[in-house]
Structure 1
Amino acid sequence: MNLVDEFCTANEPKEEPVADVAPTVSWQPPSDGCYKVNTDGVVFSNSKQAEAGVIIRDGAGEVVAALSKKWNYPLGAIEAEAKAVEADIIFAHDVGIRDAEVETDSLEIFNAMRGHSAPPSSVVNVVTGILNQASLFRKWKFTHIKRQGNVPAHVLAQHAKNVEDYLAWVKDLAQLFIFL
């Protein structure tokens, strides 16, 4: 290569790498005829408590029920997520949901529910119970959402530290708050 070619090569305009912009993560409606049941579990190690938040929405995105639940004993993060999904399934069934998409931001619990991986030994029994409870629904599936798209369930989980046991809200009974 001669000096002119080297000079031209060295001075060619360089394309700046363009950063990939992550797509916005947001709640997506469920399949036709289903309800989307979002859940999140949180751990407050300083108070030795774990909490769950559950929000149930119809296909139009309208909230039909919500739950904040607290456990007054310490759980690890994965155990809290599993117990949150368990609370989610029971609550959805109790309020009359029969066709549900259960959505969690815990990839580990999602993979265990879908049979992609074995659940951690600390939650095997909880996962087995969840799958048994899910079989009571006419139609159900488990989906995963990133944490940014699961904010309402997370806020409900954080709210649980302000309740004794649980607080439930059901649209048709908006004036009825259940404290136990």
Structure 2
Amino acid sequence: MYKLNFDAAVFEDMTALGIGVIIRNDRGRVMVASSSKSHAVVDNEEAEVLVCRKALEFVVDAGFSELIVEGGNANVMHSIRSDWVDLSRLGNLYDDIRCLAACLRRVDFHSIRHCANGVAHSLARYARNLSEDIVWLEDSPPPALEALF
């Protein structure tokens, strides 16, 4: 099993969203990490849902099939695990996440405390000054070294 952590950083002054994603193996070794920037969002829930969807798109494309997915917003993670029809403005995004998760052999969604998601948050904050996405393969991402160790 691999563990995927994701986080968002909202840059209100830039009307942008920072995205941080890291996947580690069962020993904590970095398999892949990314930092990217996206368009502005309305609120924290939208930010977390968008970042979770982008993270799952990333892992499906990369070929991972068994994951523990950890995010910092308990309400978002609960909504993803739920099988009720979400008619809210974000309902289609939740459906996208469930559809992507169905492509995986095994996936478990968990919420974690913000302080336990420091690496993904560091990568999301690093995106502030990026003009293009950055991906680190089997290498510890320099912007998150302090949080990683």
The TM-score with structure 2 as length reference comes to: 0.86
Moved more, 45-54 or 58-67: 45-54
The question of 1:92 aligning with 2:47 is answered no
Offset from partner CA, 1:111-150 (integer Å, 9 cap, x none): 1011188758231111100000010001111011110100
Runs of 4+ in 1 over 4 A off after TM superposition: 116-120
Flag structure 1 segments of 5+ consecutive residues without an equivalent.
Answer: 1-33, 175-180
Compared CA separation, residues 122 and 64, structure 1 to 2 (3 A): same
Compared CA separation, residues 84 and 64, structure 1 to 2 (3 A): same
- Report the counterpart of residue 123 of structure 2 in structure 1: 156
Identity %: 29
The question of 1:136 aligning with 2:77 is answered no
Q: Which structure: greater strand fraction?
A: 2
Offset from partner CA, 1:6-29 (integer Å, 9 cap, x none): xxxxxxxxxxxxxxxxxxxxxxxx
The question of 1:112 aligning with 2:59 is answered no
The question of 1:168 aligning with 2:144 is answered no
| Native 8 Å contact 2:45 2:76 kept in 1 | yes
Question: Greater RCO between the two (CA within 8 Å, min separation 6)?
Answer: 2
Q: What's the secondary structure of 2:33's corresponding residue?
A: strand
By how many angstroms is 1:72 displaced? 3.0
The question of 1:40 aligning with 2:10 is answered no
Q: How many residues align?
A: 140
Equivalent position to 2:31, from 40, 58, 64: 64
| Native 8 Å contact 2:10 2:40 kept in 1 | no
- Quick one: distance in 2 between partners of 1:117 and 1:155? 33
Q: Cα RMSD (Å) of the superposition?
A: 2.0
The question of 1:127 aligning with 2:127 is answered no
The TM-score with structure 1 as length reference comes to: 0.72
Flag structure 2 segments of 5+ consecutive residues without an equivalent.
Answer: 142-149
Q: Which structure: greater helix fraction?
A: 2
Moved more, 45-54 or 158-167: 158-167
Q: What's the secondary structure of 1:87's corresponding residue?
A: helix
Structure showing greater radius of gyration is: 1
